Structures are given as C-alpha cells and as structure tokens.
Amino acid sequence: MGILKTLLTTAAVTAALMTTAAQADDKRIALVVKALGIGFFEAAAKGAEEAAAELGDVEIIYTGPTDTTAEGQIEVINSLIAQRVDAIAISANDRDALVPALKRAMDRGITVISWDSGVAPEGRQMHLNPSSNALIGNMIIKLAADHLPEGGDVAVLSASATATNQNTWIDEMNKVKGNYPGVNVVATVYGDDLADKSYREAQGLMQSHPDLKAIIAPTSVGIVAAAQAVTDAGKAGKVNVTGLGLPSEMAGHVASGASQSFAIWNPIDLGYAATMIAYNLATGNAEAGGGKSIPMGRMGEVALDENSEGAMADPFVYDASNVDKFKDIF
C-alpha cells in the first residue's frame, strides 16, 4: 500500500510538473486595445480567445488603458515588456507616440503587430487593416449619400484627432466625396471615443449647421452617441447617423429611424485574425515584410504590401433588413 501510495504521489507530481511545463510553453499574446469597456474591442477579445482555443498553446492577455490616450497604452506596453510576453497585438491611440515603447519590446524579442489602428512602421512588424482604407473611406460617405438623393450637408464625428485609422478613412473619404454630387462635408469634430464628449459634439454639429442632413461617425462609440443626440433632439428621420458601428448597439437606433444604415467588419474575426498573425510570427511559422503572406486561420491569408500592411476583409452594411440577425452576436 505504501509503495502504491508513493507511486501515485510520484505520478501526481509528474503530471503537475508536465502541466506546469506545458503552461510555460504557451505563447502569451497580449491583445492591447485603445481602452477597456468598449464593445467593439470586447468582441475582438472573443475572437482572440477563439483563436487561442483553436491553437491550443496560447494564453491571451486582454488589456488596455482606461482612457484612449497614448500615455495609457505606453504604461500597458511597459508592463507587458516586464512580463516578457511573446507577442503584442495593439490597436493604437497614436501612430507615432507608441513607437519607442514598442521598439523596446521588439528589441527584447517580443513580436509586435498593430491591428485596427496602426503604428508607424518602425514600431511594429506588420499592420492588419480591418478592410481596405480606400473601401472604408468610400463606404462611409456612400452610406450618407445613398439616403440623400438631392444632396445636402453632412458632418464627420471622429474619435481622437490622432487616431490613425480615423484620419486615414476620413482622408480617403475626402478623396472621393466629389463622386457624390450635392453632398457637402461641412465639418469634422472629435469626440475622443468618449460617449459624453461625442454626444456633446453631435449636439454642437446640429446647432452649428441647422440644415445638417447626416452625421458620419467612423467610430463605434461616436455613432451611438450621435444617434442618441439626434433622437434626443427630435431629429430622428431628419438627420441620418451613419458610419461604423456594432449591430448590438445600433439595432435600436435603426428601428427608431435615427440611423438608416451603417457598416462594420466583424470584430470577432478581427481579434481572431490578429491573434493568428501574432502567433505565426512569434513561432516563426511566417515572416512579415513586403510581398509576404501570413496565415490567419479560417480567415485565409493576409497579403502584405510594401509597408507591411494588409487588409482582412471588406466592410459589411447593416440596415433594417438584417441588423436583427446580428445584434445578438456582436
């Protein structure tokens, strides 16, 4: 009995050591978001966990600051460097300010990619755009123009003035706005991805531009705040709120008439794809660089351009005909 007990104890210790060793071999991938508490990023975290479960040897660290600042993200990055994570996949609050911290991470052998909102090339190995910037820029103004057959004044409610993705999409939008005769972009304001500030900015747009026909918000926080501001002003059906948003947060505003339609890629897919890319780079299964392709699991492969950037998928339009099918998913 004593021998059996010793053998069982030895077996248990051995199993525990094997489990600990296996956990130690897990790749720790940090999904760093612009700020915690934002539905879009929480959906992306679900996708990251889905990828981790599929891969089997990945631990996801979902983290970010409490507000959308570069300073907050730098603190997070420094903490992750100290933890010696294997990879950092970040949606940046500032394209340039994060570069020194991320370079330190890469110098210590940590794989660094950006996704959703990019980092300057010297601060990452590659960047995953949710879609083509040109397609998104065209989409956000087309969504407004589709419901303005006679044209009219429209305004943009963005996130922060330094948000890489927002600025790129607005630039692309301005390049093609001439394709939509009569649609006049009268202002661009910034809500910093804060619900209360975005709400006030939307109110200000309606007060400053009494003939405003649409508010374009290429941010999931801003579009909801703008739709609520339009509803509270009694202008649902008169001022159309569109841009990029989540079905779960916008379904009610579509039903009320505050929003005729909006678009978004699937953030679950985005978090999944970013995790797959980070894993494949961290394990040496793929390389970043112009002309390279990196596997993204069920999302296929991302082809990188000369700036080591690639696009995941096209944006998808949601309206009264389909939003209810997606509102319970994300």
The confidence score (pLDDT) of residue 328 equals 86
Say whether both 162 and 250 belong to one domain. yes
pLDDT above 80: residue 18: no
Q: If pLDDT is split at 50, 70 and 90, which confidence band does 313 have?
A: confident
Q: Which residues contact 289 (CB under 8 A, 6 or more apart)?
A: 126, 304, 308
Say whether both 78 and 107 belong to one domain. yes
In a domain, 328, yes or no: no
What CA–CA distance (Å, rounded) separates 241 from 260?
7
* Average pLDDT in the chain: 93
Q: What is the mean pLDDT of residues 19-30?
A: 70
What pLDDT digit, counting tens, does each position of 260-305 carry?
Answer: 999 998 899 999 999 999 999 999 999 999 999 999 999 999 999 9
Structural domain for 250, as ranges: 133-264
The confidence score (pLDDT) of residue 250 equals 98
Yes or no: say if 152 and 177 are a contact pair by the CB < 8 Å rule.
no
What CA–CA distance (Å, rounded) separates 185 from 174?
8
The confidence score (pLDDT) of residue 329 equals 81
The confidence score (pLDDT) of residue 8 equals 41
- Under DSSP, is residue 110 helix (H, G, I), strand (E, B) or coil? coil
pLDDT above 50: residue 7: no
Say whether both 38 and 121 belong to one domain. yes
Say whether both 140 and 219 belong to one domain. yes
Q: What is the mean pLDDT of residues 75-81?
A: 98
The confidence score (pLDDT) of residue 14 equals 44
Say whether both 165 and 96 belong to one domain. no
Q: What is the mean pLDDT of residues 23-28?
A: 78
Ramachandran sector of residue 182 (left: φ over 0; alpha: ψ -120 to 50; beta: rest) = left
pLDDT above 50: residue 222: yes
Say whether both 146 and 228 belong to one domain. yes
Q: Alpha carbon of 216 to those of 29, 62, 168, 263: distances in Å?
A: 34, 29, 14, 11
What CA–CA distance (Å, rounded) separates 124 from 127?
7
pLDDT above 80: residue 155: yes
Structure tokens at 93: 């609050």
Percent of the chain with pLDDT over 70: 93
What CA–CA distance (Å, rounded) separates 152 from 186?
10
What CA–CA distance (Å, rounded) separates 160 from 164?
9
pLDDT above 80: residue 223: yes
pLDDT above 90: residue 19: no
Yes or no: say if 140 and 173 are a contact pair by the CB < 8 Å rule.
yes
Yes or no: say if 177 and 145 are a contact pair by the CB < 8 Å rule.
no
Domain boundary among 264, 285, 320: 264
What pLDDT digit, counting tens, does each position of 50-65 carry?
Answer: 999 999 999 999 999 9
Parallel, antiparallel, or unpaired for β 152-158 and 126-129? Answer: unpaired
Q: Pick the residue with more confidence: 42 or 3?
A: 42
The confidence score (pLDDT) of residue 24 equals 54
Give the number of domains in the chain: 2
In a domain, 248, yes or no: yes
Say whether both 137 and 259 belong to one domain. yes
The confidence score (pLDDT) of residue 3 equals 44
Q: What is the mean pLDDT of residues 139-157?
A: 97
Q: Pick the residue with more confidence: 253 or 14?
A: 253
Residue with tokens 């044209």: 151
In a domain, 329, yes or no: no
Q: If pLDDT is split at 50, 70 and 90, which confidence band does 140 have?
A: very high
What pLDDT digit, counting tens, does each position of 83-120 carry?
Answer: 999 999 999 999 999 999 999 999 999 999 999 999 99
Looking up residue 26, the CATH number of its domain turns out to be 3.40.50.2300
The confidence score (pLDDT) of residue 302 equals 97
Say whether both 49 and 85 belong to one domain. yes
The confidence score (pLDDT) of residue 16 equals 43
